[in-house]
Amino acid sequence: MDLISTRGGERVTAAQAVVQGIASDGGLFVPETFPSVSAEEFEAMAGMDYPERAALILKKYFDEYDGEALLAALKEAYAKFEGDDPAPLVRMESGMYLLELYHGPTCSFKDMALSVLPYLLKKGCELLGKKDKVFILTATSGDTGKAALENFAGAEGVKLMVFYPEDGVSKMQKQQMCTQDGDNVNVVAVRGNFDDCQTGVKKIFGSEKCRKQIEEKGYLLTSANSVNFGRLAPQICYYFSAYLDLVTSGQIGMGDLVDFAVPTGNFGDILAAYYAKRMGLPVGTLICASNKNNVLTDFWRTGAYDAKRPFYRTMSPSMDILIASNLERLIFELTGRNAARTSGLMEALAKSGRYSLSTEEHRKLKAEFYAGCTSEDETVECIYDFFEEYGYPMDTHTGVAMNVAQRYEEKLKEDPMSETHPIVVVSTASPYKFPQDVLYALTGNDVKDSFKGVKRIHLLTAMKVPDPIKAVRYKPIRFKTTVSAEKMFDEVLKFL
């Protein structure tokens, strides 16, 4: 399948999109057309395990990849997850469902895609006849960085560099990243927030001079962020799998609509759900949940995107984002795939920090999604109440999504004419990745040490402490460099 740039300047194969990361015109690669899943394929997938379901979906995009090799790679990737199912669905007595995506090697949903990306990238290079070494440059709000480091550490012919906001990740996320093994990886803190990191990385990708200097070092430049289609595509699969689990367990009938509530920062996770819907998954409403950095909620309400606003550091740091990169892909669809219009809106965002949709574009946006946000106190209260009621501990990001989902459900109940569907809340991280904030939500107690938080959560909840969390406790800190955003490329050249 060919992919095209949201800004109109390029058409590439899926393999090229993975290797290149971002289009040369600065746009993001999107499918030229959305492949459909037939009724027969839905029936077949119902009897498959997760890797088999994922292989069927991904093969529709990566049609130049060998199907059997793709399936083998997926089986190998998901064998590293705890349990038999990498994406189990849990039914709560309230009638809501939680899609647990944190059973991988780094305890966050980013493992679902980044466990697969090394294969897609390596095979993509082979298909394109690329012999160069690969340099993966990534900005992270906490989870992408560790998942990329874990999955690319030690990979032959690959170097990976991660930039993270100095004070914008949890202590456990920082511990996970800065203790990473592997001679081919590097981690650098940036003075600023995630948007500063992301903007710095985008500038490097968009600079012909920077690209040339990287090429002179013998490397191809690509990304492990969800701006890379190879990162985004595997995320589509778990929405199909969750739906099929509802069918096979008798919770719904095939064809019934299901709503998904997704904690949202850079917009990649919920965009994957939208792509699944475009492929034929029976999705009702996509619930976009934000924290105190509620730029997306305001965008849904007004049709105007305004990133010129205060930035807040919250207990859900992976969502502390004001410029949601993947939103560009949705804008492309809302404009009727008008590349010139999309490019103009993104240029306005870059220059002024703002842009506005037309009345019709805004109508389309509100027809597909519901958006809501939570305060810090509301998140704490939701985590506490949910544990008291059901004995289920959630991380802070899942708490945001659950709070918004509950409010959406209440809103529908107030309107007797509303159509209700089962709601699946996407649980994106283990509570142990944010132990201090989760412990505070559950008990009101503060601890300064992350691992004391882990111990106390375990004593309180009896929830198993994941092996990857235990493993980093006594590992030495390897990466201690902090730079300004202006010095990011200097660090890239030093590393290479």
Altogether, the residues listed in the chain come to a count of: 496
Over residues 423-446, the mean pLDDT reads 98
pLDDT band at 370 (very low <50, low <70, confident <90, very high): very high
Q: Are 441 and 384 spatial neighbours (Cβ–Cβ below 8 Å)?
A: yes
Q: What is the pLDDT of residues 208-230, one digit of tens each?
A: 999 999 999 999 999 999 999 99
Task: Supply the pLDDT for residue 95.
Answer: 87
Distance between CA atoms of residues 231 and 115, nearest Å: 10
Question: Which among 468, 415, 486, 476 has a CA at the least distance from the CA of 147?
Answer: 468
Q: Are 476 and 179 spatial neighbours (Cβ–Cβ below 8 Å)?
A: yes
Average pLDDT over all residues of the chain: 97
CA 344 vs CA 252, 349, 496: distances in Å: 43, 9, 35
Task: Quickly count: other Cβ atoms within 10 Å of residue 321's Cβ.
Answer: 25
End-to-end CA distance of the chain: 33
Q: What is the pLDDT of residues 134-151, one digit of tens each?
A: 999 999 998 999 999 999
Q: What is the pLDDT of residues 71-119, one digit of tens each?
A: 999 999 999 999 999 999 999 988 899 999 999 999 999 999 999 999 9
Q: Residue 9 pLDDT more than 80?
A: no
Q: What is the pLDDT of residues 439-453, one digit of tens each?
A: 999 999 999 999 999
Strand ranges for 196-331 from DSSP E: 219-222, 258-263, 283-290, 304-306
CA 383 vs CA 12, 260, 401, 422: distances in Å: 44, 19, 11, 21
Task: Supply the pLDDT for residue 416.
Answer: 86
Q: What is the pLDDT of residues 460-472, one digit of tens each?
A: 999 999 999 999 9
Task: Supply the pLDDT for residue 29.
Answer: 98
* Rounded to 5°, angle at Cα 280 from 276 and 286: 50
Question: Which among 431, 423, 388, 461 has a CA at the least distance from the CA of 108?
Answer: 431
Task: Supply the pLDDT for residue 184.
Answer: 97
Q: DSSP letter at 106?
A: T
pLDDT band at 339 (very low <50, low <70, confident <90, very high): very high
Task: Supply the pLDDT for residue 293.
Answer: 97
Rounded to two decimals, the pTM is 0.96
Q: Where are the alpha helices (DSSP H) in 257-312?
A: 268-278, 295-302
Task: Supply the pLDDT for residue 94.
Answer: 84
Structural element, H or E, at residue 20? helix 14-20
Q: What is the pLDDT of residues 35-71, one digit of tens each?
A: 999 999 999 999 999 999 999 999 999 999 999 999 9
Residue 364, sorted as left (phi over 0), alpha (psi -120 to 50) or beta, turns out to be alpha
> Which residue, chain included where needed, has tokens 């802070």?
396
**CATH domain 89-107+230-468 topology:** Rossmann fold (3.40.50)
Q: Residue 311 pLDDT more than 80?
A: yes
Task: Supply the pLDDT for residue 417.
Answer: 87
Q: What is the pLDDT of residues 156-203, one digit of tens each?
A: 999 999 999 999 999 999 999 999 999 999 999 999 999 999 999 999
Task: Supply the pLDDT for residue 93.
Answer: 86
Distance between CA atoms of residues 305 and 302, nearest Å: 8
Q: Where are the alpha helices (DSSP H) in 357-427?
A: 359-368, 376-390, 396-413
Over residues 247-275, the mean pLDDT reads 97
